[in-house]
Amino acid sequence: MSTSTRTVLATLSATAIGATLALTPTYAASTSYVALGDSFSAGTGTYARTDSCYRSPLGYPALIARQKGLALDYQACSGADTSDVLADQVGALDAGTGQVSMTIGGNDVGFADVLTECALPGWLSDCHGEIDDSLVTLRTELPGRLDEVYGEIADRAPNASVTIAGYPYLFNGRDCSWATFFSGSEMRRLNDGTAELDELIEARSAASGFSYVDVRDDFAGHAVCDRQPWINNLTLPIDESFHPNRAGNVGYAAAIAPSLVGSPLSTSRMATAQSAPAPSVRSQAAAVLDLELDSKAHLRQAKQAGIRPGEIRSAVAKLRSGDDRVVRAGLAELQALDARVSDGG
């Protein structure tokens, strides 16, 4: 064998060995899955909290990991915004990370504050003002925040398949809870805000080279007041409210899994039953009583909105009754007063 032939073979062998060594960590990393994000990724809404961040075993990241044999590093945390992802979560990423999923952005634009304000009776709330403030943040600050988070993920996990998911519409145009007072126009604006947030997330994630999953079609027909809701209505504990329930997390998992692992999940094996019943009439009445609608300050606001204070006092008094039928009547009266204000009449 000539010297030149031996040199060529040695070079080829070294190249092959190097390629094999290079493939080994990539193969191992393919099962490494880091779930980043906020409460929608932490599984809030499934009534299965495990720690202060929630991190439910019934959240969509856990469902995907179990069925696809991925090694899950559950970093998502209820209440997280983009700054929290940067400070507390992305440290789990490295060159060996194979899969990354995330929902983020809702808390940056005040998800909880907006819903809390809009759920109040129309004569007490400034729902549209709160939505306006949220949209200012969405349009002026959130694009840069998302770019920073996405850039950090790309730098820290250069070999990962990264999937960013959006948020579902919460409302179908009907408020079916006695304890909330969403008007039709408020629900439309809240859904419109979700659409604008999702469009921004899609654009910025695509610019970063990540996969984007739009879940709004998946959740169609499963809003809070639909016959088969995938999202909790107002409930107790309060932080479970307006988040995907167990069925909703199955829906998220089915939508996200193909982008991460290249194949759909078998959803028939995933538990979908809710673990908590709908709030009772009395618990809803208690939530309304906590608003203190018959306080002097609130009665003044009601009067300014064209509602006689006596109407409020009468309805609130019924909520303290020992008869469920009377309690339900009081709740219905308060809903009718709110509708009167919201409809301008």
pLDDT at position 262: 79
For residue 261, being part of any structural domain is answered with yes
Residue 295, domain extent:
281-342
**One of 101, 243, 259, 342 is an active-site residue; which one?**
243
Least confident of 80-94, 102-116, 217-231, 255-269: 255-269
CB atoms within 10 A of CB 78: 23
Confirm whether 18 is domain-assigned: no
State what percent of residues in the chain have pLDDT above 90.
Answer: 83
Q: State the chain's mean pLDDT as an integer.
A: 89
Same domain, 320 and 185: no
pLDDT at position 236 is 87
Question: 298 and 205, same structural domain?
Answer: no
Q: Does residue 332 share a domain with residue 197?
A: no
119 assigned to some structural domain: yes
Inform me whether the pLDDT recorded for 273 exceeds 60. Answer: no
Q: Which of 217, 241, 269 is the last residue of a domain?
A: 269
Q: How high is the pLDDT of residue 224?
A: 96
The structure tokens listed for 313 are 């006092």
Q: What pLDDT is attached to residue 266?
A: 74
Contact status, residue 235 vs residue 179, Cβ threshold 8 Å? no
Task: Name the band, by pLDDT with cuts 50, 70 and 90, for residue 13.
Answer: very low
Does residue 26 fall inside a structural domain? no
Question: What residues contact residue 45 under an 8 Å CB cut-off, 6+ apart?
Answer: 39, 231, 232, 240, 243, 244, 245, 246, 248, 249
> Which position among 39, 125, 161, 259 bears the catalytic label?
39
Write the pLDDT tens digit of every residue in 38-77: 999 999 999 999 999 999 999 999 999 999 999 999 999 9
Q: Are residues 247 and 313 in the same domain?
A: no
Active site residue 222: no
Where residue 184 falls (left for φ over 0; alpha for ψ -120 to 50; beta otherwise) is: alpha
Domain edge (last residue) among 220, 239, 269: 269
pLDDT in tens, 145-181: 999 999 999 999 999 999 999 999 999 999 999 999 9
Residues 307 and 249 in one domain: no
Active site residue 243: yes
* CATH code, domain with 130: 3.40.50.1110
Count of residues making up the chain: 345
| Co-location of 44 and 168 in the same domain | yes
